[in-house]
Amino acid sequence: MSAVTCRLSNDQENKLLSLFGHVRLHLLYKASIHGYTAAAFHARCDRQGPTVAVAYNAAGFVFGGYTSKDYTQSGQPVPDGEAFLYSISAERNKPLRVAGISGQPAFTDARTGPHFGALEFLCGDQPAVQSNPGTGFNFEAAEIHGNDLVLTEFEVYRVEGLGNFLAKPWRNIQWTAENRKKLMTSIKSYKPDIKTVTQARVLLVGAVGAGKSSFFNSVNSAFRGNMTCQAISGTAGTSVTSQYRTYNIKLGRGGETIPLILCDTMGLEEDADAGLNTDDILNIFKGHIKDRCQFSPCSPVLEDSPGYKKHATLNDKIHCVAYVVDTCNVSLLSEKMLNKFMAIRRKANQMGIPQIILMTKVDEACLHVAEDLKNVYRSVYIHKKARQLSESLGIPLAYVLPVKNYCEELEPNLDTDILLFMALEQMLNYADSFFENQVTDDQDVGVQQDPYRSNDHTGRVVSHEVV
């Protein structure tokens, strides 16, 4: 007998899995094979633990319900705070999820097909569903099933949890003092690929409270060996940073500066007339905004403004953009905020500026990471959020870097420093990509060396990440 296979496409399965944590689906029942009857359903699905019902119709909808409770045919209404209904369609990028009505049971554990109140499957032992919005769950019928109540297939899967940790970390990191020293040395010895450029310039962009200023303070603290607060940071509802700031990072008190400048901006806000004006971004990219230039959310910096630099060189331009996102708020990014990120991303793409994502506050987002920062690349939750950010902003997962800022510590920590230094290392790598794409006056092919580029590449940063 041939194996029973699921009907879910890869895209549909991924969307369904996105509604859960770290799980896999095990097919228990397929109506077209086992029969469109309640008896056939119960024979294969009773006492199987958490299950999800998956219905298909000719309108192209994949919809159903999840319960964490067993089916036992007790005849009783069953409360389940984890239960939900869902719908997947080609018109939506993300699945629709409907939570239960407070105080009402999630389903009736009867001898019928799966009976979620608002949706009852296999009605009368037929390939059909009965829809009663308002009973247990509230929804618009057209959004859930497109008002097509005839089933072309019906399946039930057991939802099997896979724990809080990945089988192996998605990046292999050496959490040692030797690696910390190696990373620091690599960053200190970096030399831009073009002779006329002395430092790589990285712009930090993010929502209010994402941790841009704190990231600089943390990096500065890691290099100095003690806590610093040069950049003003805080937890206010509006941006604490109101100026454009360019920060050098020093090796110890009064020490030499590293070949990297971190540029801080006002935080992004949802409203068009609040936070950083996206029209200022292009001028920042081109190097026309001076250090300490005062921003105004209402209007961009004009050419005759005191903070505008008319004659900008490659030294003044932005060589890499880092989008700073609070890991705790990844799922809460609104469409307006995502649109602002995408508008900035389009401008950066047009100028050929490489972009990365810094995921801050990973310890606040995941208890297991808070207990041990070395769990950051083993955490199922952090990996899921990294993938979610990658998909939302259209940036490859390889460019997504989890970090932890210093917030309550009184002295630097080895593991925190390693994540911070890895982020800087990648910024320099991607800045190199920007330099390599610059058009110079000398385009001759041959042994003649480019007078604008450095011939000493011993300082180039070598990635220590394995994705």
CA 46 to chain centroid, in Å, comes to: 37
Q: For the segment 167-199, what is each residue's pLDDT rounded down to a tens digit?
A: 899 999 999 999 999 999 999 999 998 989 999
The highest-confidence range among 74-88, 238-252, 452-466, by mean pLDDT, is 74-88
Tell me how far CA of residue 163 lies from CA of 13, 302, 448, 465, in angstroms. 19, 54, 58, 25
pLDDT value at position 464? 45
Fold of domain 177-436: Rossmann fold (3.40.50)
Residue whose token pair is 């029969």: 35
Two tokens, residue 183: 């990373």
Pairing of strands 400-402, 23-30: unpaired
Q: For the segment 117-127, what is each residue's pLDDT rounded down to a tens digit?
A: 999 999 999 99
Query: Would the pLDDT of 461 be above 70?
Result: no
pLDDT (average), residues 136-142:
96
Contacts 24+ apart (CB under 8 A), 250-256: 250/220, 250/223, 250/224, 251/188, 251/223, 251/224, 252/223, 252/224, 252/225, 253/224, 255/224
Two tokens, residue 67: 């319960």
Q: What pTM value is reported for the model?
A: 0.72
3 or 254: which carries more pLDDT confidence?
254
Which candidate, 200, 158, 147, places its Cα nearest to that of 51? 158
Q: For the segment 226-257, what is each residue's pLDDT rounded down to a tens digit?
A: 998 887 665 545 555 578 999 999 988 878 99
Tell me how far CA of residue 316 lies from CA of 286, 320, 339, in angstroms. 7, 12, 27
**211 within 8 A of 225, measured Cβ to Cβ:** no
pLDDT (average), residues 395-406:
97
pLDDT value at position 167? 85
The domain segmentation of the chain, as residue ranges, is: 10-161, 177-436
Which candidate, 317, 391, 403, 322, places its Cα nearest to that of 355? 322
